[in-house]
Amino acid sequence: MIKKQNLWFLTLFSLILVLSVYYLTMPSSLFTVNNSKNPANENVVIEESEILTALRVESEDERSAMRNEFKMILTNIEASVEEKNNAYEQLKLLDLIKGREEELEKLVKDKYKLNSFIKIDNNQIRVVVSSSEHNVELANNIMRSIQDKFEDKMYISVKFQS
């Protein structure tokens, strides 16, 4: 039977090997910096999609850490049955929330033709919309559309990111 220490070593070694191969096969043009386009005294302009992507990555990192924590509880021999049940329920809840967020993002995309990032935290929903137009009526319509998907009263905030 393979020992836990050997398994960790093989896993990390495999990960390093895969990343090394990936790094070596990347085109060298990705590593060159063109300073003529962005002098040091000029601010860097961030695209809307980059802001939404950054928010998604941050949210996914946060969820991944929570998911790992719950999985550690599930695999812990010394954890009680109640702790394992709670961890399992929390994992299911994380997946459910992620699904709801994706569903609401699709709703905003289909109905209003806008890219968005949606984060659900208990009864609070934060919506970041990629639009240069800061329209109160549009924000109200988005809030109503999202609230229609929930039975309970939700506290919804809409922020426009240009």
Higher pLDDT, 27 or 124: 124
Domain borders along the chain are 47-161
CATH superfamily of 47-161: Stage III sporulation protein AH-like (1.10.287.4300)
Query: Whole-model pTM?
Result: 0.65
Residue 121 pairs in a beta bridge with 124
| Mean per-residue pLDDT over the chain, rounded | 84
Residue-wise DSSP of the chain: ---HHHHHHHHHHHHHHHHHHHHHHS-GGGT---TTTS-TTSPPPPPHHHHHHHHHHHHHHHHHHHHHHHHHHHH-TTS-HHHHHHHHHHHHHHHHHHHHHHHHHHHHHHHH---EEEEEETTEEEEEEE-S---HHHHHHHHHHHHTT-SS--EEEEEEE-
How far apart are the C-alpha atoms of 156 and 22, rounded to whole Å?
A: 42
pLDDT digits 0-9 by tens, 59-111: 999 999 999 999 998 888 898 999 999 999 999 999 999 999 999 999 999 99
